[in-house]
Structure 1
Amino acid sequence: MANNNLTVDSVTTEDGTRIHFKDWGSGPAVVFSHGWPLQGDAWEDQMIFLASNGYRVIAHDRRGHGLSSQPWGGNDMDTYADDLATLLNALDIKDATLVGHSTGGGEVARYIGRHGTQRVAKAVLVGAVPPQMVVSASNPNGLPMSVFDGIRSAVLADRSQFFKDLTLPFYGYNREGAKISEGVRDTFWAQGMQCGIKNAYDCIKQFSEVDFTEDLKKIDVPTLFVHGSDDQIVPIDAAAKAAVKLVPNATLKIYEGAPHGLPTTHKDKLNADLLEFLKS
């Protein structure tokens, strides 16, 4: 099926937003959704591994992030999910395993909530934000709104410095005995600074306030949750431990002592677990 809005590395959505993506390898499709404020390259350790092991790997830059367009509007979870649908439809992907980290885990859940699993065989949510991050009557273990208001203020005040500082808890580099990679910190900062400031600001509300409870209940494919026990960004109790109870056919793997950025810090373990799950 011809699609005039599709090129080798981008697809254009109905509102004219260009979504950049990478599409490597051949075999069963694995589609990655990244965390805030990063881009598809955040998955490079998993992508080169799986593409070298017989899989087709696809990762897009969420609108406003990476090399995608930076529209003023549409920076909301429903549109993120619809952008993912546009990509999967344009590439005519079938039987995909959707993998989402952090905000990307919310994107995967909302995609299934809105578009079903016609193109989806399995799902993996890593350090993911569902069911909901902010505290509420139905989410007593959530984080107070003041945390997210602080992030918003920091992004507006000096997001460059904020992104540098965020790398410490993100990768667990603030823990005693941690082996700090300045290269990893620099990469996080560089990716974050490619995100438009309006897009980064709007996305904070999406990863913190959106309730994914009903989306999780609609996930009717085998699902793997992976979460670090020492995740300082998305605490495990209000996230994976709660979410896994809402998905009918789900398993939770807890990485003891692992931080939020475990796709980088624990890449070998995650790569092995992904490969095992894909083959199961």
Structure 2
Amino acid sequence: MGYFVTVEHGVNIYVEDINPEGKKTILFIHGWPLNHNQFEYQFNVLPAMGYRCIAIDWRGYGNSDKPISGYNFDRLADDVHVVISTLQLKDFTLAGHSTGGAISIRYMARYQGYGVSKLVLIDAASPSSIQKEVANTFITDTLNDRPKMLQGLTDIFFFQYITAPLSDWFFQLGLQAAGYSTAAVMMSLRDENVYNDLGKILVPTLIIHGIHDKVVPFNKAQETNKLIKNSQLVPFQYSGHAPFYEERDKFNQLLIQFIG
């Protein structure tokens, strides 16, 4: 079931809500520059096992409205909060990938983890920001030849071989965002970080990270693990930046075990 939640005047966030009657809820926050469909291989499994899976598209991405502003971590976390409040979610698991991990961390700090009983960080952009030179290259390429940028990103996203059709599907997810929002979130990644937020996270936290990640190096996960008191780090030995696909069976089983 898909619907929209208004997060501020003129800005509607798309919500995909699978198995609303599920006994335990997981709220998925996608990564840059994708949308909720990146979690297709979780939606194939988890709802059938009794979980309610909710996923949003950030503003500027996927099916959500695409305003020209509001792409800093605080505003993106505020959008998540409005969705959580509107849906009256309680005692749920928040799962964020890459930049979605950073947004999830900011949400936890900014709203004292309101409603969240467990946190899952998947190759999260944490704790420090991306190198400025790398970010600036992404921004320049986005504003000049976004399809080429997206193809190059797909090439470094995965450690394992993926088929050409899957690569094209992944590429198309990125194209669904607006160019200006794609650049704006990369500017936030360049200029902001969530280092000071990590000590404010008090719920049990599972950190999943591919050891071959070329986007967010594995040592970032080790540092995040040290800074979140009640956290465990599980390395994914055969994954790059996409363990939710590359080791999807292990990933899904680990989520089930962690959530209970």
TM-score category, normalised to shorter length: over 0.9
- In structure 2, runs of 5+ residues without a counterpart are none
1:120 and 2:97 correspond? no
Considering fraction of residues, name the structure with more helix: 2
Deviation of 1:209 after TM superposition, in Å, equals: 3.2
Deviation of 1:101 after TM superposition, in Å, equals: 0.4
Using the size of structure 2 for normalisation, the TM-score is: 0.96
Deviation of 1:179 after TM superposition, in Å, equals: 2.6
Deviation of 1:161 after TM superposition, in Å, equals: 1.5
What's 1:267 paired with?
248
1:42 and 2:70 correspond? no
2-structure distance, mates of 1:277, 1:110? 22
Q: Which moved more, 1:161-170 or 1:31-40?
A: 161-170
- Which runs of structure 1 show a deviation greater than 3 angstroms over 4 or more consecutive aligned residues? none
Code of the residue aligned with 1:147 in structure 2: it is V
1:183 and 2:165 correspond? yes
2-structure distance, mates of 1:118, 1:77? 17
Deviation of 1:273 after TM superposition, in Å, equals: 0.6
Q: Which moved more, 1:64-73 or 1:114-123?
A: 114-123
Deviation of 1:257 after TM superposition, in Å, equals: 3.7
What's 1:9 paired with?
3
Using the size of structure 1 for normalisation, the TM-score is: 0.89
What's 1:23 paired with?
17
- In structure 1, runs of 5+ residues without a counterpart are 1-6, 135-143, 173-177
Code of the residue aligned with 2:239 in structure 1: it is A
1:147 and 2:128 correspond? no
SS at structure 1 position matched to 2:137? helix
Deviation of 1:125 after TM superposition, in Å, equals: 0.2
What's 1:111 paired with?
107
Code of the residue aligned with 1:128 in structure 2: it is A
1-structure distance, mates of 2:98, 2:2? 27
1:78 and 2:74 correspond? yes
Deviation of 1:8 after TM superposition, in Å, equals: 5.4
The superposition leaves residues 76-98 of structure 1 with CA deviations (integer Å, 9 ceiling, x where unpaired) of: 11111000000010000000100
SS at structure 1 position matched to 2:226? coil
Instruction: State the identity as a percent.
Output: 34
1:64 and 2:53 correspond? no
Code of the residue aligned with 2:145 in structure 1: it is D
74, 79, 83: which one aligns with 1:87:
83
175, 196, 203: which one aligns with 2:185:
203
Contact 1:230/1:260 (8 A) holds in 2: yes
